[in-house]
Structure 1
Amino acid sequence: MEDFAKLLTSIAALVGAIAWPTALLLIVYIFRTELRLALNKVPMLLDRVKKASVPGLALELDRVADDEAESGIDKNGNITPRQLEAAARIAIQAEEAGSQEALLRELDRLCLEYDSLRRSLPSGEKRTRAMTRVIAKMRSLAPSLIDFLDTYKGSGSAGSRLAAIAMMQMDPRAADLAWLKDRFSTEQPFLLYHAALALQNVANICDTPEKKRNLREVAGQALAKVKSFAGVPDRGTVEVLEMLLSSLPH
């Protein structure tokens, strides 16, 4: 990155010295090797998003989101039978096709959609509904892409981290409690709420007293962090964490 920064500095100096049309042609010629290498380093996420989407997959995800919105089965954003059914159907189709590339492209598109919604819409019910549609679609893809969990956990994109949370919601066995706990120090309310739901789902697979105590400690620290925020804490997140704590032994 340092070498590329020096390259850009040299380009700027050259542009300032001669006329722009001539400079452009000269730059492309002189730095053709460096520019080719730089372009090759563009994140694979963007490369996948550029490729054509799979119409059948997009339609399937839209159907799931539309069904949930119309039926109002769970306005709190919990996992529903429709999402589980769609996830199983998509997993079978992906296995038959022998490729996960189309699913990855669609998940990356949803990550970017979430990031765009956060930037473009004001906080409120409309934005929350739009974001809930996104995570409903992410859940339908999550079981098929669980092998990529670490990649999405480590992303600087909030949308990618939401995708990681969706994977943990759908497969609690893959939940990283330490990582989920850290969300309560760094994320915005929507991700906090869904991180709390992920912890709630982990409780369903805690089969030893030690695991339950560990989960209780994480949930207690998460709740304390949420309540320490300036202003009114997110009510939904507080309710999920308090309910979780009440279900776990001291």
Structure 2
Amino acid sequence: MDNWAKLLTAVAAVLSAVAWPLALFLTALLFRDALRSAIERIPSMLDRVKTASIAGVQVELERVADAEKKDKAGKVTPNQKEVAARIMVEKNDLGSQPLLKELDRLCLEFDRLRRNLPSGDIRTRAMTRIVVQMRSLSPSLLEFLDTYKGSGSQGSRLAAVAMMQMVPASADPEWLERRFTSDPPFIFYHAALALQNAVDSTDVSEKKKRGIREAVRRALEIVKSFNDTPDYSTIEVLESIIS
């Protein structure tokens, strides 16, 4: 009798072990076409989610640019830092490539504005709008800083400046100093802001700050020596660093 009980218990255990796998197998067999279709749709569903996320980033960039459009000084604001932090979270799902494409689009847009619009307030406001959006992307793409620093495009070099503005510890004083001899006033004004942010940052060593102040003194001499009217906004920023 005990043997029969043990046998029945063993059989029940076996049936219990195979029941769920068998049920799943039969379900998959019966609904294989529907399952195959659902699996095939997964990549396109993920693409739609990613597209929606990219659209969300673009909306964030437009909003921050709209919010800062009255700020003629064009300095980094807490709002820009908040948007940059949100985009860094989005990067976890999107990866770097969609954000790089967006930054490259802004670089090309800057170059286009420089070519096609005459110098004046309208062009300056349009270019400031671009640099505000670049800043919001910059912390997420800091690993590509050297690529943008080495570019022949003014827009790409502006993107590198924006990265240094947002992450002062990444500031390269010698490279920023060269902006005052090889780039237009809009870019070297923002180079001055990057140098100012680095001097004000607690993340930058005192040794590096001393080197920055030396670079600022040389940059100030360059700007004041221009034959045409010097850029007084840049002079004001540079003088505030060494005062």
TM-score (norm 2): 0.76
Quote the Cα distance in structure 2 between the aligned partners of 1:212 and 1:166.
Answer: 19
Deviations 1:77-111 (A, max 9, x none): 0001110110000001112x151111000000000
Q: What residue in structure 1 maps to residue 223 of structure 2?
A: 226
1:239 aligns with 2:231: no
Letter in 2 for 1:129: R
Q: What residue in structure 1 maps to residue 127 of structure 2?
A: 131
1:176 aligns with 2:172: yes
Q: What residue in structure 1 maps to residue 85 of structure 2?
A: 88
Aligned residue-pair number: 191
Quote the Cα distance in structure 1 between the aligned partners of 2:130 and 2:169.
Answer: 23
Larger radius of gyration: 2
1:115 aligns with 2:111: yes
- Root-mean-square deviation over aligned CA pairs: 1.5
Quote the Cα distance in structure 2 between the aligned partners of 1:209 and 1:199.
Answer: 13
The equivalences for 1:65-76 within 5 A come to 65-69=65-69, 72=70, 74-76=71-73
Letter in 2 for 1:57: V
Letter in 1 for 2:113: L
Query: Which sections of structure 1, spanning at least 5 residues, go unmatched?
Result: 1-51
Q: What residue in structure 2 maps to residue 23 of structure 1?
A: none
Quote the Cα distance in structure 2 between the aligned partners of 1:171 and 1:210.
Answer: 18
Quote the Cα distance in structure 1 between the aligned partners of 2:227 and 2:189.
Answer: 17
Letter in 2 for 1:238: I
- Percent of aligned pairs with the same amino acid: 57
Q: Is the 8 A contact 2:198 2:209 kept in 1?
A: no
Q: What residue in structure 2 maps to residue 31 of structure 1?
A: none
Residue from 84, 101, 107 that aligns with 1:105: 101
Quote the Cα distance in structure 2 between the aligned partners of 1:128 and 1:212.
Answer: 30
Deviations 1:19-71 (A, max 9, x none): xxxxxxxxxxxxxxxxxxxxxxxxxxxxxxxxx893222111001101112xx
Quote the Cα distance in structure 2 between the aligned partners of 1:56 and 1:211.
Answer: 38
Q: What residue in structure 2 maps to residue 16 of structure 1?
A: none
Q: What residue in structure 2 maps to residue 59 of structure 1?
A: 59
Query: Which sections of structure 2, spanning at least 5 residues, go unmatched?
Result: 1-50
Deviations 1:200-223 (A, max 9, x none): 001023665533321211000000
Quote the Cα distance in structure 2 between the aligned partners of 1:180 and 1:85.
Answer: 25
Q: Is the 8 A contact 2:110 2:127 kept in 1?
A: yes
